[in-house]
A and B are shown apart, each in its own frame.
Chain A
Amino acid sequence: MGEINGHALLFLFFGLLTCLFSLAVVFSANVVRMAFYLILALAATSGLHFLAGADFVGAMQLVLYVGGTLVLLVFGVMLTAQNPFVSLRTAGGDWIVAALVGGILLVILIPVAFQVGLPPSEASLMDRRAERETVVSTEPVSVPTATRIGLGLLGVPGDDVSGYLLPFEIISIHLLVVLVGAAYLARAKRRVASDARGGVESGVAESE
């Protein structure tokens, strides 16, 4: 069997966790458990990011995605987790159609994955450009990415990063717009008559 590669072991651990919890999200019926499995799946994805050498992106995934977006999602789940909505079952026919679509997509994606990840020697046979550049693939060294990503976002181009100042500014404005829009959409509305439903929902919505 040879020497066990630590990187492969860790990848197996995190990759299996990600896949298992993603499938658990699909097959679980209880929406709160789905949220919990999603949290674990995304945390395992962050581990995969760290393994691929993207430490800044992995930390950002934990802060923004798991610690921000999913907290928001879990809040939404808690606010609407009244008993009839916690477990909504889907009809069997829908499952068959979805499985068909998902299966076809998987069958298309996995051979593409195998083809893309060819070892460099075979890939360069198919691509003349790579033949012209005689590149020596050396042992990769893990470099700290935070400074270079920061400078790339400020618009300073480097040898492996382009300037991203304009998308950065657009995203800032976009976030401001989303902040205002979401706060406006989710504001507590003064309802004139609350006879159709109990006051619990309006009270819960207003106390948010």
Chain B
Amino acid sequence: MFEILSQPIGLTHYLIVGAVMFVAGVVCMATKRNALGVLMGIELVLNGANLNFVAFGSNFLERNPAYQLGLDGQIISLFVIVLAAAEAAVALAIVLNFYNNHSTVDVDRADELKG
């Protein structure tokens, strides 16, 4: 069982961690009633994808240079970080607006457009 400690870490390990983060983010988005909880789910999803980008671009994990993304993976993940920050800012502004107008952050109460 402890063989994992003596084997070199490969791409698979990183992809599994990224998948767990992604799924945790999706479940968070689906279940949380607090709007800020949904935002946290979005952050988790974006980070899972980021981890995948960095893993594919790393020359430690994917030893065959034909399959490496090189620094493209890292630059793309930089763009993802910046875009996630921008999107979190706007989403938070919207949530605060909602809170100021309805005095609640419960997304179940955001049903004025229903029907």
Question: What total of chain A residues lie within 8 Å of the partner, measured CB to CB?
Answer: 104
- A125 vs B24: C-alpha distance when bound (angstroms): 35
Residues A7 and B19 in contact, CB atoms below 8 Å apart: no
- Mask of A86-108 contacts with B, CB within 8 angstroms, 1/0: 00111000110111011001100
Known A31-B36, A110-B16: A69·B66 in contact at CB below 8 Å: no
Residues A109 and B22 in contact, CB atoms below 8 Å apart: yes
Residue of chain B at shortest CB distance from A140: B59
Residues A1 and B3 in contact, CB atoms below 8 Å apart: yes
**A contacts with B: majority SS:** helix
Residues B78 and A182 in contact, CB atoms below 8 Å apart: no
Interface size class for chain B?
A: 35 or more
For window 51-73 of B, CB contacts with A under 8 Å fall at 51, 54-55, 57-68, 70-73
Residues A161 and B71 in contact, CB atoms below 8 Å apart: yes
Residues B75 and A116 in contact, CB atoms below 8 Å apart: no
Residues B51 and A45 in contact, CB atoms below 8 Å apart: yes
Residues A106 and B23 in contact, CB atoms below 8 Å apart: yes
In the bound complex, residues from chain B placing their C-beta under 8 Å from that of A52 are 14, 54-55, 58, 60-61
Residues B92 and A135 in contact, CB atoms below 8 Å apart: no
A–B complex contacts, Cβ < 8 Å, 8 sampled: A5-B5, A22-B20, A25-B40, A49-B54, A79-B96, A85-B105, A178-B90, A185-B90
